[in-house]
Structure 1
Amino acid sequence: MNILILNNFWRYPGTERWDFELVCYEELICHDTHQVTYIVNRRGRTAITAHPDSCKIYEVEDFNDSTRLAEITAQVVAEQGPMDRVIAFSENLLLPAARLREAFAIPGPDMAETLLARDKMQMKQYMHAAGVKAPRFLAVLPGSITPQVASFVREVGLPVILKPADGASSIGVSRVTSLAQLETLLGALPEGDWQLEEFIAGDIYHIDGLVDAQGELLFSTSCRYINTCLDFSFDSPLGGVMVMPGCALEDKLVAFARRCLSALGFNRCAFHLEVFLDKDEEPVFLEVGARVAGADVPYMIEHNTGVNLFKHWVDLILHDRTELTPEHRGVGAWLMFGLPEQLPQQVNGVTEFVGKIPSVYRQHLPQVGSELIKEGGYCALQSGRFLFSSPCATQLAKDVEQVLQEFHIDLQTLEG
């Protein structure tokens, strides 16, 4: 096959950082059997560890430059023949990949399919049409409170959530508790597609897995979030604890996931689904992506089940099938503590837990004496990142709580 890979993931070979270590492309795709071409940005170049003679690499400054991407693809097609597949793992690259598929008649998700996995309003429309419980919502424009907006707020009540239609990681999301706050926020919104969403009280869970060529669920794990992505943007820790496989709660979440994925027609892909459990302990759809989860979710899954979601996603893309043999190695969790708002700062001390708490098998901490700077993204240098695994769900919960209570980082503001 003639395969094009778009990559903006970064790696740190030879260091303790595990960022995107599961994305070793030459292990996922045989570069001797296939013709492989990479388009990367400067950051993404660090993840390409294949032998230079086994592939072609083109670097771009901006993946949103669709003209440049098309020029490179046209050049590769002229030299090597028609492109058979385009692979992009990052959520930010799914639309550029879809544009190339449409422009060069390459099999795989087109723009309409890809937008369905990005547009949160369209997702909820599909859920409502399929009878799947999802929050009520209203499309809004920058400006002021219109009669329609006021009517929606009266109908669903406060608080409401204001969010972009195609955002990620809770960027641009606000919890609105008054009409005065809403008026201010609407007046300051940048141009784009925005929505008001009904607030659902309850715990949030993420369900991660794979669907096959027929849209059937191949594999999944379920986790209860520790706080939310929105909380994380306001300095709360963020994490997730696996639901015990085979328990009644997991069965309920998996059954709900099947309904959501069927309603959207997902196939041949990984997925990251987020759902509420409302006051009646019933699942409510929040959003879903046709991709592997971010943060440390895939590493927790691989350690505790033996399943590398990236590998099996590639198998589905290339061959429409994959061989899965999940193992139950333990119950896992992931946890991260974000960076302070004021940077740079010097690290004078930080709490370590590997070797002190048996279930903490991996930690990523800034070095004492180093300077903390903003990197951006969940898979980045944070104040602390921890991965857990335990045979006992009860002990795991206690260990996670201990880290939440005892973690501390001692920082010193740098002058100038």
Structure 2
Amino acid sequence: MPDDPPADTRLADNPMSDACSVLYIDYRPRSVAALAAHGAAVTCVVNAKDAATVRKHPAVDRVVVVRDTTDCEDVLCALRRDGVSLTDYTAICGNDEYTLYSASVVAMVAGKSTPSPNHVVSMRDKFVQKDLVRRAGIPVTQCRAVDHLDDLSAAPPRFPAVIKPPAVSGAKDTFLLRSPADLEQVAKQCAESGVLGPWVVEDFVPGGEIQVDGAIRNGELVLLSISRYLQNCIKIHEGDLAAAVVLDPDVEPALYAQARDLAARALPALGHRDGVFHLEAFEHPDGHLVFSECGGRVGGGMTDEVVLRKFGVSIHDEWARIVLGLPTGVTTPVVPDPASFGDVHLKAPPGLLLSVPSTEELRAQSGVVFGEVEVQVGEQLGNMNDDSFFRAARAVVTGEDELETRALLRDLGNWFSSAVRVDTSANG
């Protein structure tokens, strides 16, 4: 029977005996629960639209409302307005791609040494981190930074090429350029949308894309999980699914050895010696891995869920332990579940939503062990091909092996898209 995501029962065997408090610039329910499981009182800094939901979480001690959690000035002003004393907090943190920097600045103002803004830049800016790992002798695609797409018209890249903003996630505003005509079309599109620059321009890397998730403590990897995408993330703009299958280390020992070596070299090169991470790489046709990018956060989608089911380890717990200065909770050897698990974001076309399967119907589909529909009839939907985080529903499926799980993910995507009805005449 399908079920809800299992509770993170492996969180805290021995919660902290001394009272501690955490200022968390963000809100992820599992991250809050992981902090609270170790005895922390949590203050969340969130946007106004999320405040009511966050206040309902039993482990949230206090809520501070801001207009923009990514704006350092906005966050610091809101904290001052609310009479928050930064010295009262044991730790100040974020766990989202876009709040890591604001959290680091607030931590610096509070006199805390980690995470430093300089370190966050290394984990956020795609050009900076590629330069750092290249200097460490790690295979990485050639790239350059340009201020405006007009610069590319004057000095075109080698086609095919990929362009992206320096510090985004979810393939947002990321484009594959196969020819000068593509460059001209993208330049026109970006001019109309106001997305002008700067840009990172990369040589296209052939091969399939993987994500490597885990945790590093004192420079030593304590957890490593590899997931293979159904198709490379950039293809979501063409309507493909954002989906991946976690791989079994006993089935793919050579790939795990390569990924472990890549992570063990790349993370210290980025100055990331203590933290969770979400790294992406390409399986080059000649057999080696090519570094793509890396974030110092829990991976998106339902990465936390598939890792928990496959390896019995909560990435959120490891993140919380690092925030609180506690030792790792990972016990070795980590024994993987022999079953295969994959996660998917299910999409609907833009327009007025007329009908959508229920959560119960989603959970009843073959292989589904967790499903959740997140849109409602009558809702105006935007273009879900713009960002891999955009979705109408999400699900976790299980199969006997990677091949079966990939097929189940595709079947689920086809079923969901055929079951959704949208009035496209209501667009825009």
- TM interval, shorter chain, is 0.7 to 0.9
1:268 aligned residue (262, 269, 274):
274
What percentage of aligned pairs have identical amino acids? 20
Distance 1:130 1:6 in 2: 32
Distance 1:250 1:268 in 2: 21
Aligned to 1:202: 207
The answer on whether the counterparts of 1:162 and 1:195 sit within 8 Å (CA) in structure 2 is yes
Distance 1:244 1:413 in 2: 42
1:196 positional shift: 1.0
Distance 1:400 1:64 in 2: 34
The answer on whether the counterparts of 2:351 and 2:425 sit within 8 Å (CA) in structure 1 is no
Stretch deviating more after TM superposition (396-405 or 129-138): 396-405
Distance change in 2, residues 1:108/1:49 (3 Å): farther
The answer on whether the counterparts of 2:34 and 2:320 sit within 8 Å (CA) in structure 1 is no
Distance 2:364 2:403 in 1: 20
The answer on whether the counterparts of 2:93 and 2:104 sit within 8 Å (CA) in structure 1 is no
1:231 positional shift: 1.6
Aligned to 1:137: 143
Confirm or deny that 1:237 pairs with 2:271: no
State the TM-score, normalizing by the size of structure 1: 0.84
Distance change in 2, residues 1:143/1:88 (3 Å): closer
1:255 positional shift: 2.1
2:198 aligned residue (186, 193, 211):
193
1:259-408 equivalence runs, <5 A: 259-325=265-331, 326-329=334-337, 330-340=339-349, 342-347=350-355, 352=361, 354-357=363-366, 359-365=367-373, 370-374=377-381, 381-382=391-392, 384-404=393-413, 406-407=415-416, 408=418
Aligned to 1:6: 25
2:220 aligned residue (207, 216, 220):
216
Confirm or deny that 1:255 pairs with 2:261: yes
Distance 2:182 2:425 in 1: 36
Aligned to 2:113: 107
RMSD: 3.0
The answer on whether the counterparts of 1:84 and 1:107 sit within 8 Å (CA) in structure 2 is no
Measured against aligned partners, the alpha-carbon deviations of 1:23-73 in whole angstroms (never above 9, x if no partner) come to 3x2552258x55543222124421344559x72322112224433422344
1:62-141 equivalence runs, <5 A: 62-74=68-80, 81-141=87-147
Distance 2:305 2:71 in 1: 31
Could you say which structure has the greater relative contact order, defined with CA pairs below 8 angstroms and 6 or more residues apart? 2
**Aligned-partner residue type, residue 244 of structure 1:** D
Distance 1:4 1:202 in 2: 41
The answer on whether the counterparts of 1:83 and 1:106 sit within 8 Å (CA) in structure 2 is no
State the TM-score, normalizing by the size of structure 2: 0.81
Distance 2:311 2:180 in 1: 47
The answer on whether the counterparts of 1:292 and 1:298 sit within 8 Å (CA) in structure 2 is yes
The answer on whether the counterparts of 1:141 and 1:193 sit within 8 Å (CA) in structure 2 is yes
1:356 positional shift: 4.7
Measured against aligned partners, the alpha-carbon deviations of 1:147-206 in whole angstroms (never above 9, x if no partner) come to 9733xx3xxx31111111111111111111222432454573744421210001110000
Name stretches of at least 5 consecutive residues in structure 2 with no aligned partner: 1-19
Secondary structure of the residue aligned to 1:333 is: strand
The answer on whether the counterparts of 2:30 and 2:316 sit within 8 Å (CA) in structure 1 is yes
